[in-house]
């Protein structure tokens, strides 16, 4: 519906939003660690989507998109369970056992799994080059898992499980993307975003209360929760859909590759996390495989791929 305008906009029209969104999503791993260390994983994820829903609902009503959400409330709420509730809970647990930088690098595999799920579920064609990219990407993940540091930069017994949780989250994102392409086509992005956060909030409400910490968390943890809900979820969703409209889906997808740069920087500077050459090398392999598997390296020569890569 908005596929022609993005191509006509110059880079300067959306570059600022691209960098800002990358920085916000990179910071989400930092805020998750800060919040989960006192709240625990499930309350952190529950508060994140609950506050994001509170933030997005007035915007939805102001934009007059409530009727759209009401017409498509079932798939919108269901997508929230897969796209937000489960992955947010998994990541909130994972960052307690591995570095936030490592978790963000694993998050860069979302397009990798997205291409695989789209092939299995939607029948999207994968040529030889894209199959090669899938293989390279999964080799990068295997190499990263082989020498995964823990949350303090030292090997941890739970690090492999934490990495598995991250990959489970990225698989959820991939499934949710194909689900949206099948059942939420034509629904306004703001309605989809708000409905998904509402569905996630409903799904996590009881677990959030059940696992609520006995001791009240301090102001630092509360500030982290508010930041991840408003900045990294509410505002980030709006920026993401604006970026799709202004720059096109393929360029918006590239945010996934830029966010780890910020996340690794935040973790190293603010949390004193170790950043090893092995991590950076594996990250390069994963990104290279993902670029191949999504067809992003062919967008200049085969423009039609752009609309199929989201």
Q: What is the pLDDT of residues 151-165, one digit of tens each?
A: 545 556 788 899 999
Residue 11: pLDDT band by 50, 70, 90 thresholds? low
Q: Kind and range of the H or E element at 252? A: helix 249-253
218 pLDDT exceeds 50? yes
d(CA 68, CA 65): 5
Single out the residue of 183, 173, 104, 178 nearest to residue 144, CA to CA. Answer: 104
Residue 87: band (very low, low, confident or very high) from pLDDT cuts 50, 70, 90? very high
Which residue did the predictor score with more confidence, 306 or 272? 272
Rounded to two decimals, the pTM is: 0.83
Quick one: which of 250, 265, 256 has its CA closest to 236? 256
Query: pLDDT (tens digit, 9 = 90+) per residue, 227-246?
Result: 999 999 989 878 887 777 67
Per-residue pLDDT of 13-71, as tens digits, reads: 777 888 899 899 999 999 999 999 999 999 999 999 999 999 999 999 999 999 999 99
Pairwise CA distance, residues 260 & 218, whole Å: 28
pLDDT on residue 103: 92
State residue 109's pLDDT score.
84
Q: What is the domain partition of the chain in residue ranges?
A: 11-308
Q: Above 60 in pLDDT, residue 270?
A: yes
Higher pLDDT, 112 or 54: 54
């Amino acid at each position: 519906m908005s596929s022609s305008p993005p191509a006509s906009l110059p880079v300067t029209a959306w570059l600022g939003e691209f960098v800002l969104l990358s920085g916000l999503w990179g910071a989400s791993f930092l805020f998750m660690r800060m919040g989960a260390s006192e709240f625990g994983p499930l309350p952190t994820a529950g508060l994140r989507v609950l506050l994001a829903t509170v933030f997005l609902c007035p915007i939805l009503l102001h934009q007059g998109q409530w009727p759209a959400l009401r017409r498509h409330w079932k798939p919108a709420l269901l997508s929230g369970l897969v796209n937000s509730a489960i992955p947010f809970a998994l990541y909130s647990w994972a960052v307690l056992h591995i570095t936030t930088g490592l978790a963000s690098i694993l998050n860069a595999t979302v397009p990798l799994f997205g291409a695989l799920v789209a092939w299995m579920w939607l029948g999207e064609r994968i040529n030889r080059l894209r199959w090669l990219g899938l293989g390279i990407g999964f080799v990068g993940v295997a190499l990263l898992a082989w020498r995964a540091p823990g949350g303090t930069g030292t090997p941890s017994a739970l690090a492999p499980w934490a990495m598995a949780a991250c990959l489970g989250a990225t698989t959820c994102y991939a499934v949710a993307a194909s689900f949206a392409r099948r059942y939420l086509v034509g629904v306004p992005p703001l309605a989809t975003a708000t409905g998904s956060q509402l569905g996630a909030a409903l799904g996590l409400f009881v677990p959030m209360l059940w696992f609520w910490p006995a001791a009240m968390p301090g102001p630092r943890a509360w500030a982290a929760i508010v930041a991840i809900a408003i900045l990294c979820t509410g505002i980030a969703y709006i920026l993401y859909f604006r970026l799709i409209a202004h720059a096109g889906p393929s360029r918006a997808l590239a945010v996934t590759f830029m966010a780890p740069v910020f996340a690794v920087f935040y973790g190293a500077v603010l949390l004193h996390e170790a950043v090893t050459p092995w991590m950076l090398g594996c990250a390069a392999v994963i990104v290279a495989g993902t670029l191949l598997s999504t067809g992003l390296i062919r967008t200049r020569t085969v423009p039609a791929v752009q609309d199929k890569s989201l």
